[in-house]
Structure 1
């Protein structure tokens, strides 16, 4: 099968995956079309009319008859909860935690950038597949988001604008513990134990320091750990996503 037909099938699979269709049905469609292309190529038939069709319109033919799967978006939602937990919960163990307009903007920015990242990744995969363009584009995009996150975090610390609520240290610790326990239970429930462990590693220094002394001894370590884990998690996601993509393509 020629490269154009192979790329068409790969894009079709990606389109159906992003439409939340069941993986076994996607593979069945892929195998059927592969047999069709292989037979046509063997008989010297031209399949350009099929390959030149827009992938989205061709996917419409199958999507309506296929079962919905929440796998990819359930994973994306769990990943969003994980990153939000890393962003919010450690700051609640800070002795100077306060709810400000910039803090709310930080949360909104994080959610919006996460959703936008899904569309950016889909665009890169659909246009560049597994070529260098997809990796370079992804690296540039996530580096941009990371720098924006550092900038917003700086504003939260030094220019919070209007402070809506500044809880006592005791209240902040209690709320932080409640959120931490709730997120841990959720991650264990959805079988994302690595997320629960990473969150515990991030929060542990500040939790121990504040419970023991009432002061914030872990803020610098927490920030360093947060940055390292975010970078590590991003690299892990890219590598595991690339491996999964290659397996599905094969």
Structure 2
């Protein structure tokens, strides 16, 4: 886990793991002591393989793509709303989203490092993400009903053009990094509003968009939790 959160790829970690296991096997066969390795702190020993943190690889590369995906789901559908506007609370919402995502990585690391495969890790993760989800719904409510200060309200035409540009840009990015499911999910969320706005110029499908967004986020969290648990169990076996 320490190597994962230092940005190492899975194949690199597997190679280090196999090398370490071979070393233990050889030492045991020769009657040699491995206390110097076992008693060494994990972080200190990990410095031998990954002293520097790589933010452009491994889990951080995936996390960045995930952040782009969640931000796109949160912002782009709203651009196809005839009432789209950028307010001070809207900026607070984006800032909260980014900060909470970064904090979640540290929370996830703490839970996995301290509880690993115990129920505490699953319960803690579930409670944390439920809390964030409720905060997200609360921020959406504040944006709509208590915007604080209106900074910019584009015309319907401008809003549609910006939404299409952002949608196409994100779709291209997801295809380049081979996250096709993210591109498909974004298309499913945006399609009703795009078609309705282009056809009538009215706020069409906003309720469907919000319901779809909530269902996809819940589905994504469940899918990630189940797939992560299955993957971890297989690696453990």
TM-score where L is the length of structure 1: 0.87
Q: Distance in 2 between matches of 1:47 and 1:117?
A: 35
**Which of 118, 134, 137 is the matching residue for 1:147?**
134
Post-superposition Cα deviations, 1:185-243, rounded to whole Å, max 9, x if no partner, equal 11111111110110011111111111111111211110000000001111111222223
Inter-partner Cα distance in structure 1 for 2:54 and 2:164? 40
| Conservation of the 8 A alpha-carbon contact between 1:21 and 1:69 | no
Q: Residues 153 and 229 (structure 1 numbering): CA distance in 2 closer, same or farther, change over 3 Å?
A: same
- More off after superposition, 101-110 vs 211-220: 211-220
Where 1:63 maps in the other structure, the secondary structure is: coil
Correspondence for 2:236? 249
Q: Distance in 1 between matches of 2:85 and 2:53?
A: 48
Scaled by the length of structure 2, the TM-score of the pair is 0.91
Q: Return closer, same or farther for 1:54/1:184 CA change in 2, 3 Å cut-off.
A: same
2:55 and 2:61 in contact (8 A); partners too: no
**How far apart, in 2, do the equivalents of 1:67 and 1:216 lie?**
44
Pair 1:160–1:216, CA change in 2 (3 A): same
Deviation for aligned residue 1:52: 3.6
Q: Residue in 2 aligned with 1:161? A: 148
Query: Which stretches of structure 1, 4 residues or more, deviate above 6 A after TM superposition?
Result: 42-46, 65-69
The separation in 2 between residues aligned to 1:192 and 1:228, in whole angstroms, is 19
Query: Secondary structure of the equivalent of 1:172?
Result: helix
Name the CA distance, whole Å, in 1 between partners of 2:99 and 2:113. 21
Out of 195, 217, 220, the residue aligned to residue 233 of structure 1 is 220
- Structure 1, unmatched stretches of 5+, are 1-13
Aligned equivalent of 2:113, options 122, 126, 138: 126
Alignment match, 1:79: 66
Note the residue ranges of structure 2 that are not aligned, 5 or more in a row.
none
Match of 1:208 among 189, 192, 195: 195
Aligned position for 1:95: 82
Q: 1:22, 1:69 within 8 Å by CA — same for their partners in 2?
A: no
Match of 1:57 among 26, 33, 44: 44
CA contact (8 A) 2:88 2:149 kept: yes
The number of residue pairs the alignment matches comes to 237
More deviation in 47-56 or 197-206?
47-56
Q: Which of 44-53 and 74-83 deviates more?
A: 44-53
Question: What do you get for the CA RMSD once the two structures are aligned?
Answer: 2.3
Counterpart for residue 98 of structure 2: 111
Secondary structure (helix, strand or coil) at the match of 2:48 reads: helix
Deviation at 1:46, TM superposition (A): 6.5
